Amino acid sequence: MTQHYLMVVSIWILSSMASANSFTIGVRIFGGEEATNPIPYQISLQKLRATKWDHFCGGSIISHSYIVTAAHCVYQEEVERLSILAGTTNRLSNSTRYLIQSYIPHPNYRANNHHDIALVQTKHQFQFTSNIAPINFEKRYYIRSGVRCHVSGWGVMERVRTAPFPEELQTTDLWTISNRLCRRFYNVSMNEICTFGMVDEGTCAGDSGGPLVSWDRSHLIGVVSYGPAYCGTGIPDVYTRISVFTNWIRGVIKANL
């Protein structure tokens, strides 16, 4: 943990404590940059509205037939009106679209209860290419604080959560913080992991369900879950910690082979 990191965290705590009382399920990439190439594991979860597919959450490809996302993204949704867009940086593109067979929220999921994770099964298997490929979720290690991570998504890019989503995929790097520090802002559990960025950095509406990955993009660490009511305010973002749910993920996939 560098001296610069410690200094930044200290400044951030002092400047943010007054805003720590509200949070909102559903979050965006704030203060990032456009992805220059498709991120192979990143998908756009879309809903059919009238005759048009609209992005509303993210997710990560983890096998030939499954993605992982946030439970609050799919809970009580009509599966016939959901699809997955893969292999693109543009959420409006005519890239490869996969219809959904079923979704499985974690059995302990209830709104705001620290089990915000779900698996989504496609009707047809993903055809893996250089632009469509799974990310490894199997590495079961506990991510400590002060670790640089990478997050991506099509979430809104203004503080107001009702702003329109960007067409192009956004990415940024964030740093993990300890759950002890994060509890100054939220009642996080050991099932969750927190990151922080400077003011105007982080996730927001439309990024929910998307991937928090290792800096080298080799391993899935978290699923975007919730954050502050106003995005990019220097308050932490919270993710479902993948390592806690590895056995559950394996079990669901095996049971549906």
Q: Report domain extents, the chain.
A: 8-35+136-243, 42-135+245-255
pLDDT in the model for residue 257: 78
For residue 14, pLDDT beyond 50: no
For residue 4, pLDDT beyond 70: no
The catalytically annotated residue of 60, 65, 208, 225 is 208
pLDDT in the model for residue 140: 67
pLDDT in the model for residue 20: 43
Q: How far is CA 45 from the centre of its chain?
A: 11
The verdict on domain 8-35+136-243 having CATH code 3.20.20.60 is no
Q: Which residue has the tokens 């965006």?
A: 28
Using alpha carbons only, what angle is made at residue 69 by residues 66 and 73, rounded to the nearest 5 degrees?
125
Q: How far is CA 128 from the centre of its chain?
A: 21
Asked whether the domain spanning 42-135+245-255 has the same topology as the one spanning 8-35+136-243, the reply is yes
- Per-residue confidence band for 32, with pLDDT thresholds at 50, 70 and 90: confident
Share of the chain above pLDDT 70, in %: 85
Q: Catalytic site residue 72?
A: yes
Once rounded to an integer, what is the mean pLDDT over residues 182-205? 91
The catalytically annotated residue of 16, 44, 60, 72 is 72
The catalytically annotated residue of 116, 225, 237, 243 is 116
- Per-residue confidence band for 139, with pLDDT thresholds at 50, 70 and 90: confident
For residue 93, pLDDT beyond 50: yes
Q: Which CATH architecture has domain 42-135+245-255?
A: Beta Barrel (2.40)
Once rounded to an integer, what is the mean pLDDT over residues 92-118? 93
Which of 250-255's residues contact partners 24+ apart within 8 Å by CB, and which partners?
252/66, 252/104, 252/119, 253/63, 253/65, 253/66, 253/119
Once rounded to an integer, what is the mean pLDDT over residues 134-154? 90
Q: Catalytic site residue 208?
A: yes
pLDDT in the model for residue 110: 87
Q: Catalytic site residue 116?
A: yes
pLDDT in the model for residue 7: 44
Query: What is the pTM assigned to this prediction?
Result: 0.88
Beta pairing class for 23-25 and 118-122: unpaired
Once rounded to an integer, what is the mean pLDDT over residues 195-208? 87
pLDDT in the model for residue 15: 46
pLDDT in the model for residue 202: 87
The chain-wide mean pLDDT, for the chain, equals 87
Once rounded to an integer, what is the mean pLDDT over residues 101-124? 94
Weakest mean pLDDT among 35-49, 64-78, 111-125: 111-125
Weakest mean pLDDT among 5-19, 44-58, 66-80, 202-216: 5-19
- Per-residue confidence band for 19, with pLDDT thresholds at 50, 70 and 90: very low
Give the closest residue to 79 by CA, choosing from 116, 51, 121, 112.
Answer: 121
pLDDT in the model for residue 162: 61
Once rounded to an integer, what is the mean pLDDT over residues 122-140? 94
CB 209 within 8 A of CB 27: no
